[in-house]
Amino acid sequence: RIQDSRSFSLSAARAILGRGRWGGDEGKEQLTLKDVAELLRKKECCRVVVMAGAGISTPSGIPDFRSPGSGLYSNLEQYDIPYPEAIFELGYFFVNPKPFFTLAKELYPGNYRPNSAHYFLRLLHDKGLLLRLYTQNIDGLERLAGIPPDKLVEAHGTFATATCTVCKRNFPGEDFRGDVMGDRIPRCPVCTGVVKPDIVFFGEELPQRFLLHLVDFPLADLLFVIGTSLEVEPFASLAGAVRSSVPRVLINRELVGPFAWQQRHNDVAQLGDVVGGVEKLVELLGWNNELQTLIQKEKEKVGRGSE
């Protein structure tokens, strides 16, 4: 089930652990982003697991419904929601599903395009290096970037499928696009119950595919943690599930989770703008041309589709 967990501040972590510098294993040489690029280039790491969060999607324009001043926040204000997270609580949804579907209309796949961070992950797949991508995002941009569903674990659910809240029948998400875009509550064609996209609400069980982590993380030989605060469990704990010998690379605005309070000598932190951090790694890998070619090809594909 999805739960919030309190994150440690870096200063508090250092005070607790008595560490005044980055890197947790005394006497061992600290790994760098350049070293990680070398490991990938030489295919010394070829079972890469990625954990991705909202930080890879906001550069695509995905709005944060919790941010006052955003258009989406203003749209939701009319519903007098007690607090933003109520949108993802079943009790509130059954009483008033309208706010969730207002959010769904904004986030429905097709409204936004993947950015270079998503296409970097696609390149990892194309090169046979991606074991699995675990994402907290519900925007479907990983699928849109061309990452196959079998390589994806959408930990917090997806709009690709939907389920009737009454008779539990399953449907393709696309069946209800017209309703969502037309500001209508989707109804089951069999029993007329409200149909909810398979997005995981607070207190709901995570998708069965999430259990793949029991196999994937022990197998991984490199872990990327990109654009996530690592504050929501059980997703957050996965960052500590790889073997201690496995390099972990954080590309994020700030140190989070074990990168803040349980560093290893083979942890790498590229802090700052998330897409900028990914692009720096792409440059070190020498994949710039391939990435730009892929992005251009995908843009042309979209252009042809809209003709």
- Confidence grade of residue 307 (pLDDT, cut at 50, 70, 90): very low
Please report the domains of the chain, with CATH numbers, ordered by start residue: 3-59+114-156+208-305 (3.40.50.1220), 63-110+158-199 (3.30.1600.10)
Residues 6+ apart with CB under 8 A from 170: 161, 162, 163
What is the structure's pLDDT at 6? 39
Annotated binding-site residue? 122 = no
* Residues contacting residue 220 through CB under 8 Å, at least 6 positions apart: 47, 48, 49, 131, 242, 243, 246
Whether residue 10 is predicted with pLDDT greater than 90 in this model: the reply is no
Query: Is 289 annotated for ligand binding?
Result: no
Confidence check: pLDDT of 8 > 70: no
Q: Which residues contact 295 (CB under 8 A, 6 or more apart)?
A: 116, 119
The model's pLDDT over 238-266, given as tens digits with 9 standing for 90+, comes to 999 999 999 999 999 999 999 998 889 99
- pLDDT confidence bin for 30, thresholds 50/70/90: confident
| Residue 139: pLDDT over 80 | yes
**DSSP assignments along 166-230, one per residue:** TT--EEEGGGGHHHHHTT---B-TTT-PBEEEEEPPBTSPPPGGGGGHHHHHHH-SEEEEES---
Going by pLDDT thresholds of 50, 70 and 90, the confidence category of residue 94 is very high
Average the pLDDT over 224-243 and give the result: 95
Return the closest-CA partner of residue 107 out of 169, 52, 146, 156. 156
Q: What is the pLDDT of residue 191?
A: 98
**What's the pLDDT at 68?**
62
pLDDT digits (tens, 9 = 90+) for 49-73: 999 999 999 999 887 666 666 556 6
Annotated binding-site residue? 229 = yes
Q: Could you tell me which of 21, 46, 31 has the C-alpha nearest to residue 266?
A: 31
Specify the pLDDT at position 16. 30
pLDDT in the model for residue 21? 42
pLDDT in tens, 148-201: 999 999 999 999 999 999 999 999 999 999 999 999 999 999 999 999 999 999
Give the model's pLDDT for residue 53.
94
Q: Active site residue: 118, 125, 156, 213, which one?
A: 156
Helix (H, G, I), strand (E, B) or coil at 119: helix
Residue 254 annotated as lining a ligand binding site: yes
Model confidence, pTM: 0.86
Mean predicted confidence (pLDDT) in 21-33: 68
User: Any idea what the Cα angle at residue 226 is, between residues 41 and 28, rounded to 5°?
Assistant: 60
Q: Is the pLDDT of residue 220 over 90?
A: yes
> Can you give the pLDDT at residue 103?
87
Rounded CA gap, 212 and 208, in Å?
Answer: 8
pLDDT of amino acid 287: 98
Q: Binding residue per annotation — 139?
A: yes
* CA 58 vs CA 169, 190, 274: distances in Å: 33, 37, 10
pLDDT of residue 27: 54
Confidence tier at 136 by pLDDT (50, 70, 90): very high
What secondary structure letter does DSSP report for 291? H
Q: For tokens 């149909």, what's the residue?
A: 195
Task: Inform me whether the pLDDT recorded for 3 exceeds 70.
Answer: no
pLDDT tops 60 at residue 206:
yes
Rounded distance, CA 130 to CA 133, Å? 7
Q: For this structure, is 156 an active site residue?
A: yes
The confidence score (pLDDT) of residue 230 equals 94
304 labeled part of a ligand binding site: no
- Of 195, 205, 199, 117, residue with least CA distance to 160: 199
265, two tokens: 């000598």
Average pLDDT, the chain: 88
- Residues 102-112: what's their mean pLDDT? 86
The answer on pLDDT for 19 being more than 70 is no
**Where is average pLDDT lowest: 83-87, 128-132, 197-201, 295-299?**
83-87
